[in-house]
Structure 1
């Protein structure tokens, strides 16, 4: 009887501590991620499944550092950079972050509009894009932080759709296990580009800023400031690790689904609706519908994170009042950046850029620029003036520097193949 009560209490505590880490992990599997994983599966089959095992500890280590920065400083990552490092690093980060994030927003809106059109063919995709953007603008401006946080947590359930699909198509599980635990690498431009895209879309710079800021905002919304104790850090790690595990699990199953169904039938995916629609004749209407609905759910989850992280970056850089907990009139600049980023993102859909190509290019851009931010985060987390007694331990540094080396090596290799032209 005591054991059951203890287990129930433990489970209740586990769900209670889930927050910024879970939402960040779920937001990582946005339409950009779905596009990248779908392209990897369609082009290379199950050959990239092993990357899910590699990216999980790397993601968890970096996002854990970002969460710790937020807990200890009670400030966003940009604020920490601004007050402890040169302006050159701050503006370099701004130049890296803004274009990729806006392109990511536009690509996600396009992807959501496209799959909505698939589900309701009588309504044009561009109209869905406009309605989706308007809904997001209204919700972000109208709802307070607590409400937005609650909505984002429930939207995390949309990730479960991708775990269901592979069991409907009955893959060769022996081949799945082999490709999961035995890495395959092809030293050619296409494979390396896909590898960098996978790394870029899982270890994305905008998530670093969002994680740090959300931990800081959670601190600010407590009745009294938490003492950063061993228990608090343990709860934070559970939250982050759960979110990153869920993110990588979804990535694994999307590559699995598209690798089994689309590989050999479609080599190049040019639009996000093509990835969903291609499943219909090959895997059945149920798989296709689940895939399409999943794009919508993850899009509604990810776009507020993208727009919010961008606005925090800009607002903290220029010292504007910011925070999703504030009313519009209390932080006009902050909300103006959110609305502008959504508006520009929507406008991208009318310039003829392929949504799928934009999504994959965004992931590649993240993969090339992320090493700079990872190096900065590592420096912050080893700086006792900022982190006090909560600097990195040995394991955090090993995983962090491994992430830096892997991301840098992948980016350099991609640049080599681009210059070589093969």
Structure 2
């Protein structure tokens, strides 16, 4: 009998997880966290990191190490909310807290995301113009249209794979570093030795970097991504209903989130490194957009570095557009109790897809106004800062509450780092207003 049992353990049906090669099993662990992390390096983020490198050289590299544990904690908390409850952040706030708290947050998120969409589309259109010439506004229209059509026509289970492949476009910024001369001594010092001057300009740049890496739309998207994973797979249930799935799913969330955020910060690190070694070293410190950074690279780093930088803007933009529009749609849909989800057909979730289309089209329309890219980014940072702090406080309270999370309340590590991230964002928001006129 013992021999038969051993044989039964050895003989497995083809296609079981253990039959898959390790690389494929590893890739299956990557999902909402990877896409969220990669979308954090959107064209607006690229502009911010380029400004940091151009203005301060290697002196801002340390921010990527500093912010990493804080951003990973708050994103893991977001993912846990979705996976444990089977609802996104807005749905849980509506269910357990007041709509008077929820509706202003969702409204501010929608406004900030729309402005961010406008800035990203502008940068993408400018990047395509640099690459092939022609009218930038035409490319903006085409890119916005393609993004909306893909989100409406392709189910989430397939669309998520497209988004994961788009993450590869960010490697363009890693490749760019190997085409420029780096002073590695200065770079290592800038990485491991924090150096922040307490003047208004330096504080504003630090706050901008912080606001780019810890942003409300990322919270909503990662939680919603976990909910989509639950809804798109019959065998997967919210952990409150199926606690036996917790060990495997918790491990997946940790790997997915920490690797996704590491990917995000490594790419941001390389953008700062590239612009520090080229633009800053050659006195080109006034950079306003990602496209300007790409153009400025051409004479100092060569045509190939310029090409990779510009292509990266378009690639990461196509990744960020659905995250920005989608996170707004999830938040609005859950707040108003609409049918939601990228896995649903358009006729099954008309309001949800209408928000995606309207937010993207409003962002497109802003490109036909005298929009100042710098002012747009500043207003986005202000609105995100005002939204992020109360939202993070509610998320922390929510994930400490057994009525919401059941037995899956926060560990001590997430409790400490989550509150630290919240306190840092509160201080950054105060600092943003303090340095407003400087």
Fold shared, TM-score > 0.5 on shorter chain: yes
Once structures 1 and 2 are overlaid, which stretch shifts more, 89-98 or 156-165? 89-98
2:262 pairs with 1:257:
no
1:314-359 residue CA offsets vs partner (Å, 9 max, x unmatched): 1111111111111111111111111111110001111111335423
Residue 126 of structure 1 aligns with which residue? Answer: 137
**Distance in structure 1 (CA, Å) of the matches to 2:55 and 2:110:** 30
Correspondence for 2:48 among 11, 29, 36: 36
> Equivalent residues in 2 for 1:351-362 (5 A)?
351-362=369-380
Once structures 1 and 2 are overlaid, which stretch shifts more, 97-106 or 347-356? 347-356
Partner SS, residue 256 of structure 1: helix
Residue 189 of structure 1 aligns with which residue? Answer: 200
Aligned length, in residue pairs? 414
**Distance in structure 1 (CA, Å) of the matches to 2:157 and 2:19:** 28
2:232 pairs with 1:221:
yes
> Equivalent residues in 2 for 1:12-411 (5 A)?
12-121=24-133, 123-226=134-237, 227=242, 228-263=245-280, 264-411=282-429
Partner SS, residue 103 of structure 1: helix
**Distance in structure 2 (CA, Å) of the matches to 1:378 and 1:193:** 26
**Would the aligned equivalents of 1:203 and 1:367 in 2 still touch at CA under 8 Å?**
no
**Distance in structure 1 (CA, Å) of the matches to 2:327 and 2:355:** 10
Deviation at 1:93, TM superposition (A): 1.0
Deviation at 1:282, TM superposition (A): 0.4
- 1:18–1:412 distance in 2 versus 1, CA, 3 Å: same
**Distance in structure 2 (CA, Å) of the matches to 1:7 and 1:44:** 50
**Distance in structure 2 (CA, Å) of the matches to 1:353 and 1:167:** 35
**Would the aligned equivalents of 2:110 and 2:359 in 1 still touch at CA under 8 Å?**
no
Deviation at 1:140, TM superposition (A): 1.2
**Distance in structure 1 (CA, Å) of the matches to 2:105 and 2:381:** 17
Structure 2 unmatched runs, 5+: 1-17
User: What TM-score comes out, normalization by structure 2 length?
Assistant: 0.91
**Distance in structure 2 (CA, Å) of the matches to 1:22 and 1:55:** 17
Once structures 1 and 2 are overlaid, which stretch shifts more, 133-142 or 264-273? 264-273
- 1:198–1:253 distance in 2 versus 1, CA, 3 Å: same
User: What TM-score comes out, normalization by structure 1 length?
Assistant: 0.95
| CA root-mean-square deviation | 1.6
1:365-393 residue CA offsets vs partner (Å, 9 max, x unmatched): 42443222111111111011110111011
Larger radius of gyration: 2
**Distance in structure 2 (CA, Å) of the matches to 1:408 and 1:197:** 13
**Distance in structure 1 (CA, Å) of the matches to 2:363 and 2:305:** 29
1:269-327 residue CA offsets vs partner (Å, 9 max, x unmatched): 23332111000000000110000000000000010011011011111111111111111
**Distance in structure 1 (CA, Å) of the matches to 2:248 and 2:145:** 41
Residue 5 of structure 2 aligns with which residue? Answer: none
Once structures 1 and 2 are overlaid, which stretch shifts more, 286-295 or 407-416? 407-416
